[in-house]
Amino acid sequence: MLADDADPELAAEKLIHPQFPRSASYDPLWQGRYADGPNPLWLAESLTDLMDLAPGMRVLDLGCGWAISSIFLAKEFGVEVVAADMWLRQETWPLIVEAGVESQVMPVRVEAHDLRFARGYFDAIVSLDAYQYFGTDDLYLGYLQQFLASGGVLGIVVLGVTEELDGGPPGHLADMWTWDHKAFHSPGWWRDHLERSGPVTVEHADLVPDGWKHCLRWQELAALAAPPRARPACAEWARRLAVDAGRTIGWPRIVARKD
């Protein structure tokens, strides 16, 4: 997300936060540069606060983007990660090697409906700001769960809403709300959706605490330090998030265990 000439002090001011002490030990420019949306390390840290990951577990990071969340999981928890995305970048493997986790993180280019893993292979599946692209389908979890071991855990964090917007978005967001925002759902919606579409029990469904504030900080940084053509839209999102103040937009965080 960040342009090559982004100011390191500004990146540190916006991306280092006491709510994310593990993430804070990673170079802020690295965090900002190799992210497709509000910080994947924050999303990973928010989720792993609720998941018991132990060294040697096999984890699928589905929709990993640049795979910095996969690197984070490997370094912080000693797990083995398959970093999976349909648009794997050429920079991803060098990033993994540079981080010294090449024996723990395997990048794989795969489409979420065409996974080629053995049944029951993973102890955990995480998906950060990606599950909304494929996981709202009623049939998807029934497919995905076959790759989880019995008792294994699915953890997702997605951009979403505090409550379902049955009457449409509020006025201060209406002109920003495009067709793809239909995939923004509430924690309650995700709970019901997952429990009725696969053999799982949802153990946790809430919003990342202060998620909108973190999202706002991210957009404020992007408005100043993303590649120039992206800045106006980020500035406008920052303005709307500030007006919204967490009434509508948040980060649903869901943990479900396979029965």
Ligand X SMILES: C[S@@+](CC[C@H](N)C(=O)[O-])C[C@H]1O[C@@H](n2cnc3c(N)ncnc32)[C@H](O)[C@@H]1O
Binding site for ligand X (CB under 6 A): 35-37, 40, 63-65, 69, 85-87, 111-112, 128-130, 133-134
Question: Considering the complex, what minimum distance in angstroms separates the CB of residue 110 from ligand X?
Answer: 6
Question: Whose Cβ is closer to ligand X: residue 23's or residue 69's?
Answer: 69
Residues whose CB is less than 8 angstroms from the CB of residue 230 and which lie 6 or more positions away in sequence, other chains included: 1, 222
Closest CB to ligand X among 64 and 81?
64
Rounded to the nearest whole angstrom, what is the least distance from the CB of residue 141 to ligand X in the complex? 14
Smallest gap from residue 167 Cβ to ligand X (A):
27
Q: Please identify, using beta-carbon distances, which residue of 98 and 111 lies nearer to ligand X.
A: 111
23 contact partners, CB below 8 Å, separation of at least 6: 15, 16, 17, 31, 39, 41, 42, 44, 45, 72
CB 242, CB 234: distance < 8 Å = no
Give the whole-angstrom CA distance, residue 121 versus residue 58. 7
Q: Tell the smallest beta-carbon distance from residue 231 to ligand X (Å).
A: 18
Angstrom distance (rounded) from CA 202 to CA 185: 16
Between 104 and 127, CB nearer to ligand X: 127
- Measured from the Cβ of residue 170, the count of other Cβ atoms closer than 10 Å reads 13
Q: At closest approach, how far in Å is the CB of 171 from ligand X?
A: 26
Query: How many CB atoms within 10 Å of residue 76?
Result: 17
CA angle, residues 152, 156, 157, in degrees to nearest 5: 155
84, 36, 78, 147: CA torsion to nearest 10: -30
| Residue with the CB atom nearest ligand X in the bound state | 65
Min CB(85)–ligand X separation in Å:
5
**Nearer to ligand X (CB atom), residue 89 or residue 247:** 89
- Which CB, 135 or 152, lies closer to ligand X? 135
